Structure 1
């Protein structure tokens, strides 16, 4: 959260609807994508180092390193595993914990809150796992090799996003969101397979402790505990219990992440944080500092704080270390030839490269054609084919499952060669599919529209300033959105700067997360019928916490409106159609949150303080 200062430095913050984005996407989701994409390069380097090391004259040192025993003792008890298991059963739990946190956040306050938008990636995700598994089992129907079917169901999100940044469209935000939603489903199933199908002998006592830990996490969530410490302590106990239970510890990471609460910042907590911060600025004493830090921490959910702390080290340290420990296949002494002659390797290659692409495309195509759901705005079926092809990069999850599925080092080597070959071929297939979609289907960018779909109409839009002014600023707003209230004075500053050169236009976008926003929009339009739109506009922002019907009637009386006529107009279908028209224009223009500004006909994606908007408008004036 940000607040204006005397310099007008308001960072870009928006209220989000059930499928809302800040510009193209939410800030946290953009950070997630950026971190995952950046880690792909480190993954490649780690994998290449592992391969070079395993095939060098010092290859035995590579093997010996990962078999080094490491013990942690607590009196007579403790854990003892070799370094390879500490990475796969320990560090990778943190990786899956972060995934669980992100899944919980997306279902609670992110993209997956709009269940209608989940249907297509859900179906595509399921078919994108079933088809690869069927292809693999068709080539490996029985015997020890059949146990490797789980290696073809997973997708490496970091590799996927990193390669798409290289071979995909210049702007692919909406496709990335579609694929991230798909990989959420992918990850849940893959981790369940790891934890259940590839479990060792089970210990009921340890499983009981693990179940009790999950129950404690639920209680912490319901009790509204906001400190991170209790959650972390319970997760550590859960991890130890899961390791001792015989179930693979990755499922502990995913489940515990899913149970850590994610909430939008409450207005009361934000205001309290602002109050204590101001108190510290006036009296920088240790006690006041502790109170300010506590209130600032409380304003952000424990889920997001843990993600902030763990996501970057997980992506930039844990996953590359995992690749270093698992990608080192000694290809000498006929291993490579043995792999290319095995049904196991080809089952993995065809399952990942062909099965993922066909499964994801078919699932998306069928669900769209049958009307079960729709693709994100800006994403075409050609994009889903290309994204499905890139989903054949199964690296991290595939290597982990291979280490669990096979005891034979020969089979492990064959399978790992298949994963590496599949990563190369899937990247090439994705590049070709993107080129095909761009050239023959006209599907170049996979992004939200950036152009105002319906031009300003002075006969129906509310315009402050000359209707024929050369510069236009359009704002989509929500009267219950606190960020809209904070920038409500920006229009006055801009008009003071530009004078008659600027017209400022408002349009309604009442978000579903704000229960009174639509009624407030109707109130503004009802006041407009009596020539008092801008007066009601300011009153509504000044009383965001009081927007019930009786409150609106009181504001109408304060503005000397005909209250009876005002109340009748609130029920007028014509006003409802006016608001619906604005909402439709927002959807068509790629608007997913409030406030959103357009400079002329182009959506503004930077901060929305007065200084930044003045600079953008001046640039638009020069470009005319």
Structure 2
């Protein structure tokens, strides 16, 4: 359901009103989720066909097959259906918890204003479906299944969005993913508090101790993954013994594994070790390089990288195979189609979710809590809200927990499957109607450079009429921009006179307090024809960007210091930097570094090889360099 995150690092603002540019790890995650949705759908179809075939008895007997683990005098025994639902799904929710922790530490949820509207949308998208379900379904055991309609299946939702949504929907995906973070947290809480069995106090106490131990490991900065894995496994066993559903252990374990941005020193240490390995490819040097790389990346992200493919391509399809097989023969389908439970689930998921998310979003914007992501219109929100009515994974899990009556369970399952079919069809219709009426066919950030390169005002290195252009929006205090300077130097060496490199300012003052003053210092140096020399000095002294430092750099470069100081405080210098910032926002640049190849925003890693390939493609062939 959630991410694997590795890729090019990028500094991003945390308190700006506009959302940050999506990083490559998130883009890879979206692609993985969309791909796994196809496998999930195939597993669902197989389960339905199998359960309604002459071999349906084998399907039921396989689910009821007991499997046990024994160690000394202790043993753990469950049937295969419960091993999937209580065991493998704990791993699934552990990955969800890891991503939720990362979102709160580094992602969209770090900025309360940016997250306010999606959070309101998530709450509305759970409250209204529950009320609608309870209004349709009679009291009694059937009413106890209200938890079936609160969840959203992220994999199916993103897969449907890729098929029926706008061609470019990055910003809408950001909105929907932020929404599902809250959705998943509430859903797991409901499962744990409402649908768990009788509780065992000593095991609950053990869970608290193990949770504290996990938190302590994160606080101490333990970088090896093995201790975390062992503690989470013990936490799962304690939750199982306590009578709580395993999803609680998985989510709690993931939430307690800290996520941190790569430290500049750690990244540089890893780079030095890999450089040493390149010079001396010996086993011990290679091992030390691998250790330094692991140290640079948080345990949270490394665990996501390893576990996400397993949950997306193995765990969730197995869950679908074990739970979606409803035997519709013998009048079961006819009975389900005439049941208030079935249609209560369908109405709540499809109608309740779409209206709940949309109305709550509108209320959040109207009350001034926040605004929609740039590029996302209300038609997009309504279409995306309709797709969030695909509850599948969480809905089927709650169905099995909420209903002891097999008939009610089958009726609710049929409702979940009908919603799975109806929501994408209705979503496609809504996207098409909104595009026809409103003219907004994309739900993405701008992709074209807003202000063309002007050699008279831009900072340009290379021939003014070079056939290839690379524009970078950078921040002098951003450590990833400092690393990118080596990338751009390599590209200039490769393409020679065929490439002009343009640097534009995007100081992220909320995360880099000295960045704007440094940008103005570079512009002031440009007034005396020494921009690139100041550019290199600022990047090589990123931890020394106070006012006195900048004056010292001006003197070191032989500038007229008095003129430099006048230009540094001049309104025209500040206006020059602000013009670049405005151009960045209008061009879809939200983090640093952001590159434009020609006039198109580069999406993906910004290593030298990738950017060189993009430059070559922009002129229709290899450079020959």
TM-score (norm: length of structure 1): 0.92
Moved over 4 A (4+): 19-24, 465-472, 489-503, 606-623
**1:593 matched to which residue of 2?**
591
- CA–CA distance in 2 between the matches of 1:564 and 1:110? 43
How far the C-alpha of 1:503 sits from its partner, in A, is 4.7
Deviates more, 1:276-285 or 1:424-433: 276-285
Unaligned segments of structure 2, at least 5 residues:
1-6
Match of 2:95 in 1: 98
- Alignment check: 8 A CA contact 1:19 1:110 kept: no
Match of 1:348 among 342, 345, 362: 345
Q: Distance between the aligned counterparts of 1:69 and 1:501, measured in 2?
A: 68
* CA–CA distance in structure 1, aligned partners of residues 66 and 486 of structure 2: 64
Q: How many Å separate the matches in 1 of 2:246 and 2:24?
A: 31
Instruction: Tell me whether 1:603 sits opposite 2:601 in the alignment.
Output: yes
Tell which deviates more after alignment, 60-69 or 318-327. Answer: 60-69
Name which of 547, 556, 559 aligns with 1:558: 556
1:141 positional shift: 4.8
Whole-angstrom CA distance in 2 between matches of 1:503 and 1:605: 20
Aligned match of 1:410:
407
Find the aligned partners of 1:287 and 1:502 in 2 and give their Cα distance.
40
Conservation of the 8 A alpha-carbon contact between 1:19 and 1:592: no
Q: Judging changes above 3 Å, is the alpha-carbon distance between structure 1 residues 90 and 326 closer, same or farther for their aligned structure 2 residues?
A: same
Give the direction of change, closer, same or farther, for the CA distance of 1:281–1:188 in structure 2 (3 Å limit): same
Deviates more, 1:194-203 or 1:103-112: 103-112
Q: Which residue in the other structure is 1:165 paired with?
A: 162
1:566-611 CA distance string (max 9 Å, x none) = 3454444443332222112111110122222223432233555666
1:318 aligns with 2:315: yes
Name the structure 2 match of 1:295: 292
Greater shift in the superposed pair: 589-598 or 332-341: 589-598
Once the 2 structures are TM-superposed, how far is the Cα of residue 366 of structure 1 from its aligned partner?
A: 2.1
* 1:106 positional shift: 1.9
User: CA offsets, 1:327-377, max 9 Å, x none?
Assistant: 111111111111112111111010001001111111122222333211112
Query: Post-superposition shift, 1:58?
Result: 1.7
8 Å Cα contact 2:23-2:604 kept in structure 1: no
Q: Which residue of 1 aligns with 2:324?
A: 327
State how many pairs are aligned.
Answer: 613
**Any idea what SS the aligned residue of 2:476 has?**
coil
- Residues 112/573 of structure 1: CA separation in 2 closer, same or farther (3 Å cut): farther
Q: Which residue of 2 aligns with 1:18?
A: 14
Q: Find the aligned partners of 2:227 and 2:487 in 1 and give their Cα distance.
A: 43
Find the residue that maps to 1:118 and give its secondary structure: helix
Instruction: Give the direction of change, closer, same or farther, for the CA distance of 1:24–1:555 in structure 2 (3 Å limit).
Output: closer
Q: Deviation per CA, 1:500-531: give whole Å up to 9, x if none.
A: 77654321011233333222112112222333
Write the deviation string for residues 454-506 of structure 1: whole angstroms up to 9, x where unpaired.
23345543334565666544221111233323343666666677777765432
Partner of 1:188: 185
Q: 2:78 aligns with which of 73, 76, 81?
A: 81
Q: Which moved more, 1:548-557 or 1:225-234?
A: 548-557
1:3 is aligned to none
Q: Is the 8 A contact 1:14 1:22 kept in 2?
A: no
Q: Superposition pairs for residues 505-544 of structure 1, below 5 Å?
A: 505-511=502-508, 512-544=510-542
- Structure 2 counterpart of 1:486, from 470, 483, 488: 483
Counterpart residue number, 1:38: 35
Q: 1:467 to 1:279 in 2, by over 3 A?
A: closer
Judged with a 3 Å threshold, the aligned counterparts in structure 2 of structure 1 residues 335 and 491 are, in CA distance, closer, same or farther, namely closer
Judging changes above 3 Å, is the alpha-carbon distance between structure 1 residues 296 and 491 closer, same or farther for their aligned structure 2 residues?
Answer: closer
Deviation at 1:549? 2.5
The partner residue of 1:71 within 68, 71, 74 is 68
RMSD: 2.5
